[in-house]
Structure 1
Amino acid sequence: MRKMLVFTLFLLAGCSHTPEETDINGIWINQAAIDAAAQGQSLRKTFATHGSNLEWDFDTRTAKAQVTSGFEIGEGQLLQKSPDTWIVDYNGYGTDELRFDGKQLIQLAKEHAPQQVFSRPAQAAKTDPRHTFRHALNSAYMGGQWKIVDGQGTGNIVVFTADGRVSGLSKTDRYELCLDGDCASQGAGNDTLYLGTEDLGDSWIFVRKGKQLEILQAINLSRPDGVPQLTPGLRRWLLEKQ
């Protein structure tokens, strides 16, 4: 009887040290980039430091992985290399390796790409889960109340919402921050955003320094039939976060 009791306790002790299988299923976002941008710095500088991959979506049931940058979506096969390490294989056109440290998912550095860190979002975007990073960035970077201290509507309060709506700016009810792609290359190193309505809008150059947001006209230096090349023009608004 005594031997049986000891054997049972031994089995229980062994079970208690068996590591649980790590579950990375679902969405992960580049929270480090959001936190850096929220300090009031340039988005171009932020992504250069923290990487261009903004969001991962894993489906461990189908072994599929989807990664979103500022302008494209990549899809690959998810392969578990060890209990805390995964490989994403892009059909033979390259791979990414990710490791889970217990709280964060780390995408390992490779040639021409820095190491990136991803976290579980507080909540996924309601309309489209692939927009979770953008919604979180909008909230952290543009959220709260802004006061127009110079420009049309001086004294007005401006509010930017996580889903891309804006109130308080003349003839404008929508905005979209440029994260990467054509809008970034056309800005010649400057941060750009779209301001307009459902049907009509324009690209603008903006400069973020701490609690101040300067929105400038974007002057196109290219010919009408050429690829736009934007340079800062006159300031239209200067906003200050309240």
Structure 2
Amino acid sequence: MRLLPLLLLAALLSGCASTPNNDPSGTWINQAAIDAARESGRLREALLAYGPNLEWHIAPERQQASYSNGFELAEGRLQNAGEGRWQVTFYGDYNEQLAMQNGELVQITSEYWPEQHFARVSGEPKPLGSSFEQALYRDYLGGDWLIEEGLGQGGLVRFNSDGQVQGLPGAERFALCLAGDCAAMSGEHDSLWLQAGDQGSPWLFVHEGNQLRIFEAQNRAQYDEMPEYQPGPQRWLLKRR
């Protein structure tokens, strides 16, 4: 007689445990792009290979879905398409399809974008794009870096997930270039923005293993053209401890 209640309880718990796997609610980030950048050191290549979209916010209760690609934000109307799929309709009546597969949010291949996979993140809601950015900063540049060459030699540098940088002379904040104009201006090179107070400038960098080389960004374009940056003199060589 005790077996039936136990079976019913097990079924109930099983159903509850499986619900999150089919629920697209929440924040999803392109962890594959972060992993590829961390392993190869080449940020732009990783974003191009696994992007372009970097983060989704899904709110079925409000029929809303929005994404960030590191440069633009877009919000669409979310509709349940059945069989674990959802359709997102954006301004201009173009659609994207989302699906849940093995606990991941999958953006289905479309005429605009390739298939992309996203991992759910927990915690308090953040502005769209912030969760990906913070995870990237933590995984890609996290830890302590020793200044082996350059101003401040022998000191330690820390790039924080909130965009603050400590120990790098002349810089208080940083931002990695993910997409948009900064990517167009730096071409095949990875770039970041370093800022102190209200003054900042772009820099190019090469991330190889536990080394980070930061170069001056020299503009090769004419004064009336969009900047075209190429690596100039190396300013710092950092080594992760």
1:114 deviates by 2.2
Q: Secondary structure in 2 aligned to 1:53?
A: coil
| Structure 1 counterpart SS, 2:121 | coil
Alignment of 1:88-167 (within 5 A): 88-111=88-111, 113-124=113-124, 128-167=127-166
Structure 1 stretches of at least 4 aligned residues deviating more than 4 Å after TM superposition: 15-21
- Higher relative helix content: 2
User: Which residues in structure 2 correspond to 1:26-105 (within 5 Å)?
Assistant: 26-105=26-105
Alpha-carbon distance in structure 1 between the residues aligned to 2:85 and 2:131: 24
- Aligned partner of 2:66: which letter? Q
CA contact (8 A) 1:139 1:161 kept: yes
2:190 counterpart of 1:191:
yes
AA in 2 matched with 1:177:
L
Distance 1:209 1:173 in 2: 23
What is aligned with 2:23? 23
Q: Give CA deviations for 1:86-130 in whole Å, capped at 9, x if unaligned.
A: 11111344211111014111111223522111011143565x354
Matched, 1:169 2:168: yes
The 1:112/1:207 distance shift into structure 2, 3 A limit, reads farther
Q: Measure, in 2, the Cα distance between the counterparts of 1:219 and 1:164.
A: 24
The TM-score with structure 1 as length reference comes to 0.88
* Farther off after superposition, 209-218 or 33-42: 33-42
Q: Quote the residue 2:207 is aligned against.
A: 208
Closer/same/farther in 2, CA of residues 240 and 124 from structure 1, 3 Å limit:
farther
Aligned residue type for 1:219: Q
Report the residue type matching 2:208 in the other structure: K
Considering only CA atoms, is the larger Rg found in Structure 1 or Structure 2?
A: 1
User: CA offset at residue 184 of structure 1?
Assistant: 0.2
Q: SS where residue 23 of structure 2 aligns?
A: coil
Q: Which runs of 5+ in 2 are unaligned?
A: none
2:218 maps to 219
Cα deviations by residue, 1:191-213 (Å, 9 ceiling, x for unpaired): 11001213001100011111111
Q: How far apart in 1 are the matches of 2:107 and 2:183?
A: 24
SS in 1 for 2:36: helix
* SS of residue matched to 1:120: strand
Task: Give the Cα–Cα distance (whole angstroms) in 2 for the partners of residues 186 and 99 of structure 1.
Answer: 35
Would you say how many aligned residue pairs link Structure 1 and Structure 2?
A: 231
Letter in 2 for 1:37: A
Distance 1:20 1:142, change over 3 A: closer
Structure 2 contact 216–234 (Cα < 8 Å) conserved: yes
Give the match's secondary structure for 1:196: strand
Moved more, 76-85 or 63-72: 76-85
Distance 2:75 2:202 in 1: 30
